[in-house]
Amino acid sequence: MLSAMRFLLIDILVCVLLVSQVTGDDKWESYKIQNGKSYKLIEEIVRSALFNRTDNLISRHNANFGAGKELYSMEHNHFSDLTTGEKQRYLGASISGNRELTPTTKVAVPANIPSFYDLRSATCMPPVKSQGSCGSCWAFAATTPVEYQHCIKKQLPAAISLSEQQITDCAYRSSDGCTVGGSFQFAWAYLVFTTGLQSNVSYPWANLANSQRCKATTNGAAGEARVSTYSSLVQDETQMLYALLNYGPISVTFYASTNLYYYAGGVFIDPTCPNQIINHAVSLVGYGTTNSTGTPVNYWIVRNSWGSRWAYGGYFYLQRDVNMCNIASSPAYPNAS
């Protein structure tokens, strides 16, 4: 009995000491305020430990960035105190069995190939969105090129924000589009056989960790976009560039379980990335070249679905022409109107 009490008192003392260290950490307290986070006693200890581990990682990396040993910098954001499993919920791409849905396409060489191309500020580029902790990146990567093409072809003054919730709820009727994940090819295949993709006004994003029962209408409505066909590209970054110039944003998959979570700026390069695995879907909206280190480095401008507060307003730069993190694994684009 006395032994058990002794251990209990030791545990309480340890908790008190840890809490005193946590509450005295100005960086941790500032982080919570900036990100709107608040925790009870035990979770506070766990979250602060995760934050401190991330803080050490960021500090070491940025020291190397300052010394010219890295091409990108890192910063704290809403991922800094999450576990590995929690961060995985912000991914969700899968291409298993879906590349066979359409033939591989080779794109014609555009008449003009500029050295720099950027659609971020284009009239038909909608604002960056956030998928939250629903593994529906594939739905967001599917809607971006549809929104852009719909706006261009209908000659709209601005893009209509289309419903990722409809795709997440309805494309996979027999499974959860959040926890199981999916592919933008399958999303487009679903849209080919429906009356169209509803707007976010008529079918809003619910910001839930699980998908819902499909509530899509069957008779269509004004402002809906439609997909007639879609094409999977050859796994070649030059062809991906041609497709971007010819058709607008293209959707891609890559491996994102890296330091990308804490990316702040620069060209993301990770030589340890696997070249056969993918788990995240995004859209390419531009490209360029930097000479910041004296050696030219080509990069993609990538639109993510982690919110506009992340990185460059929701965008990041990824090294181009080296299949960085398997970015050339499954490029594709729809034919939308």
Residue that is last in its domain, among 42, 70, 98? 70
CATH of residue 270:
3.90.70.10
Domain span holding position 21: 2-70
Pair (228, 315) in one structural domain: yes
Pair (269, 186) in one structural domain: yes
- Residue 208 in domain: yes
pLDDT digits (tens, 9 = 90+) for 318-327: 999 999 999 9
pLDDT at 3 over 70: no
The structure's pTM equals 0.90
Query: Which of 23-27, 86-90, 269-273 is predicted with the least confidence, judged by mean pLDDT?
Result: 23-27
- Residue 237 in domain: yes
Query: Which of 12-21, 23-32, 164-173, 289-298 is predicted with the least confidence, judged by mean pLDDT?
Result: 12-21
User: Which of the residues 280, 298, 325, 326 is marked catalytic?
Assistant: 280
- Taking the C-alpha atoms of residue 166 and residue 206, their distance in angstroms, rounded to an integer, is 10
- Residue 76 in domain: no
Residue that is last in its domain, among 35, 70, 105? 70
Phi-psi region at 266: left, alpha or beta (left = phi > 0; alpha = psi -120 to 50): left
User: Which of the residues 200, 279, 298, 304 is marked catalytic?
Assistant: 304
Pair (62, 141) in one structural domain: no
Report strand pairing: 227-233 vs 104-105.
parallel
- Residue 75 in domain: no
pLDDT at 83 over 60: yes
Token pair recorded at residue 92 = 């969700």
Pair (245, 329) in one structural domain: yes
Pair (211, 248) in one structural domain: yes
- Residue 304 in domain: yes
Phi-psi region at 127: left, alpha or beta (left = phi > 0; alpha = psi -120 to 50): beta
Pair (64, 122) in one structural domain: no
pLDDT digits (tens, 9 = 90+) for 161-219: 999 999 999 988 767 889 888 999 999 999 998 878 999 999 999 988 888 888 886 55
Model pLDDT, residue 94: 84
Pair (220, 288) in one structural domain: yes
Query: Which of 10-14, 46-50, 199-203, 231-235 is predicted with the least confidence, judged by mean pLDDT?
Result: 10-14
214 is catalytic: no
User: Which of the residues 77, 98, 134, 137 is marked catalytic?
Assistant: 137
Q: Which residue has the tokens 């959040």?
A: 178
- Residue 293 in domain: yes
- Determine the average pLDDT of the residues in 129-137: 95
Pair (110, 137) in one structural domain: yes
- Provide the H-helix boundaries in 159-201: 164-170, 184-192
Pair (7, 106) in one structural domain: no
Query: Which of 101-105, 199-203, 277-281, 295-299 is predicted with the least confidence, judged by mean pLDDT?
Result: 101-105
Strands (E), the chain: 72-74, 104-105, 117-118, 227-233, 250-254, 263-268, 280-290, 297-303, 315-319, 332-336
Report strand pairing: 263-268 vs 315-319.
parallel
137 is catalytic: yes
Pair (98, 138) in one structural domain: yes
Residue that is last in its domain, among 23, 39, 70? 70
* C-beta atoms surrounding 35 within 10 Å: 15
Residue 138 in contact with residue 94, Cβ under 8 Å? yes
Pair (106, 244) in one structural domain: yes
- Determine the average pLDDT of the residues in 270-275: 92
Q: Which residue has the tokens 């209509």?
A: 160
Model pLDDT, residue 139: 96
Domain count within the chain: 2
Pair (158, 235) in one structural domain: yes
